[in-house]
Amino acid sequence: MNPADYKDLNTSPRILLGPGPSMVHPRVLRAMAQPLVGHLDPEFLKVMNETQELLRYVFQTQNPLTIPISGTGSAGMEAALCNFIEPGDKALIGVNGYFGERMVEIAGRYGAQVDRLDRPWGAVFAPDEIEDALRDKGYKLAAFVHAETSTGALQPHVAEIAAACHRHGALLVLDTVTSLGGVPLKIDEWDVDIAYSGSQKCLSCPPGLAPITVGARARDLLRSRKTKVANWYLDLSLVEKYWGSERTYHHTAPITMNYALREGLRIVAEEGLEARFARHRANAELLWAGLEELDLPPFVPLAHRNVTLTTCQLAPGMDDPTFRRRLLDEYNIEISGGFGPLKGKIFRIGLMGFSSRRENVALLLTAMRQLMLR
């Protein structure tokens, strides 16, 4: 091995308009350059407190157990399931895209008896069909994706779904990886028991942290478990003691990523949630109109179309990987294709957080138009 063969990193400053990660805000990058301190240093403990306060604002909750899990959004998903499932528990999971499938896989690995409620990819669930599925089944929890990253569908009627779950004795777990900080999400008002997200989408941070919030019903259930949580690293009964007043050591937190998340959340709070939601909506509508003009119509009906992640149908004869590679090579823009049953049929375009800007929409539409003319 010759050390001279390994040059300085010089990665391209891509325009990230795919399903994640999104572009990192320059202020977040500056925050990450702050000197490292210890994970129990008084200055870092202050960062922890402020991060929790800001997370409660963005989740719109007063839940004391609102923290960032050390791991990506998938760690948040696993934490939201493994802490509340014991072997033999019954779980209902809505599957209308890839991440519903992943929840089924994770819940099954922790010994749950999983029943699926399936809808076609791109569709959403009606509260009455969820109520019918819950009735007289004894489910401990039900889990749904708020904004399905694989399809661009946004699940409406979350408050009604939560009420149905509670009428039948089930907790509601909500995947908000692609919605937190980009579309309205009201954990307390909607009475959601457990919600998790990721740092790399609408919060404009790098991947590496998974915000999670846990309500009173779920905390009571966690404390009354008959068995230990099967995942030590993600055991919230242990992790909450580090993030709570006890500050009991559990693991070394990713200090720099927590700097990043604090700054990303501070930017959200400065903009204000309503203004932020309006910006994401306006830029998405601009994109949708432009895609229609290019004969690349959005895949999901307007009534439940997610503004942070748009899927559009390909034009006849369009080669998905070739087009996206040219977009990257010639215009430095990243978007993504579909997978599963949507492979080769759609593009996935993310306008999340710092990536959600009018100039990015104009640049993308112009670049796509030019490539389609050749």
Residue 168 has pLDDT above 90, yes or no: yes
Which of 254, 269, 284 delimits the end of a domain? 269
Rg of the chain, C-alpha, whole Å: 21
Helix axes 42-59, 255-271, angle to 10 degrees: 40
Write down the H helix ranges in 83-157: 98-109, 127-134
Model confidence at 47, in pLDDT bands (50, 70, 90)?
very high
Which structure tokens are listed for 209? 């942290």
Query: Are residues 305 and 179 located together in one domain of the fold?
Result: no
Write down the H helix ranges in 121-229: 127-134, 158-167, 187-190, 216-223
Report the half-sphere exposure of 216 (CA within 13 A, side-chain side). Answer: 5
Query: Are residues 156 and 201 located together in one domain of the fold?
Result: yes
Query: Are residues 58 and 197 located together in one domain of the fold?
Result: yes
Summarised one tens digit per residue, pLDDT across range 211-264 is 999 999 999 999 999 999 999 999 999 999 999 999 999 999 999 999 999 999
Domain count, the chain: 2
Residue with the two structure tokens 């009475």: 191
DSSP secondary structure, 286-330, as one string: HHHHHHHHTT--BSS-GGGB-SSEEEEEPPTT--HHHHHHHHHHH
Q: pTM of the entire structure?
A: 0.97
Q: What is the pLDDT of residue 255?
A: 98
Residue 374 has pLDDT above 90, yes or no: no
Residue 323 has pLDDT above 90, yes or no: yes
Residue 52 has pLDDT above 90, yes or no: yes
| Domain assignment of residue 104, yes or no | yes
Tell me the residue range of the domain where 313 lies.
Answer: 15-21+273-373
What's the CATH code of the domain at 300? 3.90.1150.10
The mean pLDDT of 269-293, rounded to a whole number, is 98
| Domain assignment of residue 165, yes or no | yes
Average pLDDT, the chain: 97
Which of 222, 251, 269 delimits the end of a domain? 269
| Domain assignment of residue 134, yes or no | yes
Query: Are residues 232 and 315 located together in one domain of the fold?
Result: no
DSSP 14: -
Residues 307, 284 contacting (CB under 8 angstroms): yes
Backbone phi and psi for residue 50, each to the nearest 5 degrees, phi listed first: -70, -35
Q: What is the pLDDT of residue 295?
A: 97
The mean pLDDT of 23-41, rounded to a whole number, is 97
Query: Are residues 337 and 229 located together in one domain of the fold?
Result: no
Summarised one tens digit per residue, pLDDT across range 255-275 is 999 999 999 999 999 999 999
Query: Are residues 189 and 303 located together in one domain of the fold?
Result: no
Q: What is the pLDDT of residue 230?
A: 97
Query: Are residues 264 and 283 located together in one domain of the fold?
Result: no
The mean pLDDT of 117-144, rounded to a whole number, is 97
Q: What is the pLDDT of residue 182?
A: 98
Query: Are residues 77 and 171 located together in one domain of the fold?
Result: yes
| Domain assignment of residue 3, yes or no | no
| Domain assignment of residue 10, yes or no | no
Query: Are residues 35 and 161 located together in one domain of the fold?
Result: yes
What's the CATH code of the domain at 185? 3.40.640.10
Query: Are residues 244 and 297 located together in one domain of the fold?
Result: no
Query: Are residues 54 and 198 located together in one domain of the fold?
Result: yes
User: How crowded is residue 313: how many other Cβ atoms within 10 Å of its Cβ?
Assistant: 17
Backbone phi and psi for residue 15, each to the nearest 5 degrees, phi listed first: -95, 100
| Domain assignment of residue 4, yes or no | no
Which residues share a beta bridge with 153?
148, 305
Summarised one tens digit per residue, pLDDT across range 328-344 is 999 999 999 999 999 99
Query: Are residues 321 and 220 located together in one domain of the fold?
Result: no
Which of 269, 288, 310 delimits the end of a domain? 269
Q: Are strands 194-196 and 209-214 parallel, antiparallel or unpaired?
A: antiparallel
| Domain assignment of residue 76, yes or no | yes
Residue 42 has pLDDT above 90, yes or no: yes
| Domain assignment of residue 1, yes or no | no
Q: How many Å apart are CA 296 and CA 293, to the nearest integer? A: 7
